[in-house]
């Protein structure tokens, strides 16, 4: 079954927002679908209901509980830092081999589409030697690259595309996730990135109200997967 790694050029750009929107859209066609957010930094158990894993669980139609969060996000750290630093503050570490095995087990056991959401951007350190890029390379599944619409995103996106090409990773689609802080029109950003995307489809996704599933951009992204 198809599995996709959801990655980004940085943090707080829209990985969870896009993943949740796709989950809700696919569920409407009664597809069995699953999602993981294996590593979470900035996790506060006292407000777990607002965390990224909780957003994914809600989109999946699953009850939010400590056990459910543990199933999809086993590496959780309090500090809002890169995982290697956040783990060190707690006297812990991300076991890279265990992380890859956890991800592969989910891929092999999936009965339908599976989204594995990364943490931060593609070069975020996971331990003293490995980054999210190494994680994606080990899994070697298609990527959904989420980028922002802010000034400077084109350079960040093209840098990411160059690095991913060096690792020979497949990009299923590039999604420009709009925010209310963007200084450049969404369509202009999409058109600029398209000129350098080497045939990879670029989809502009407007900032939508929470919970919405019926939008042409979401349908287009889903059809590219």
Annotate the chain with DSSP letters as a single string: --EEEEEESSSSSSHHHHHHHHHHHHHTTT---EEE--EEES--GGGGGGSHHHHHHHHHT----HHHHHHH--EEESSSS-HHHHHHHTT----HHHHHHHHHHHHHH-SS-EEEE-SSSTT-BSSSS-BHHHHHHHH---EEEEEE-STTHHHHHHHHHHHHHHTT--EEEEEEE--TT-SS-HHHHHHHHHTTSTT--EEEE----TT----HHHHHHHHH-
Residue 47 token pair: 């407000």
Q: How far apart are CA 52 and CA 44, in angstroms?
A: 11
Q: Is 111 a catalytic residue?
A: no
| From 15, 37, 111, 168, active-site residue | 37
Which residues form the catalytic set? 37
């Amino acid at each position: 079954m198809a599995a996709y790694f959801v990655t980004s050029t940085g943090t707080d750009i829209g990985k969870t927002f896009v993943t949740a929107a796709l989950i809700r859209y696919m569920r409407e066609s009664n597809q069995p679908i699953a999602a993981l957010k294996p590593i979470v930094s900035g996790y506060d158990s006292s407000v777990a209901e607002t965390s990224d894993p909780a957003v994914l669980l809600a989109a999946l139609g699953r009850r939010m509980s400590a056990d459910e969060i543990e199933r999809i996000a086993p590496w959780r750290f309090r500090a809002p830092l890169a995982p290697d630093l956040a783990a060190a503050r707690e006297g812990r570490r991300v076991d890279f081999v265990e992380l890859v095995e956890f991800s592969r087990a989910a891929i092999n056991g999936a009965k339908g589409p599976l989204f594995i959401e990364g943490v931060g951007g593609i070069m975020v350190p996971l331990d003293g030697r490995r980054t999210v890029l190494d994680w994606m390379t080990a899994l070697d599944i298609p990527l959904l690259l989420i980028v922002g619409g802010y000034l400077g995103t084109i350079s960040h996106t093209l840098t990411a595309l160059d690095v991913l090409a060096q690792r020979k990773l497949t990009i299923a689609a590039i999604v420009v996730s709009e925010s209310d802080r963007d200084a450049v029109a969404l369509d202009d950003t999409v058109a600029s990135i398209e000129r350098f995307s080497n045939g990879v489809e670029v989809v502009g996704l407007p900032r939508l109200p929470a919970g919405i599933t019926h939008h042409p951009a979401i349908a287009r992204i889903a059809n590219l997967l």
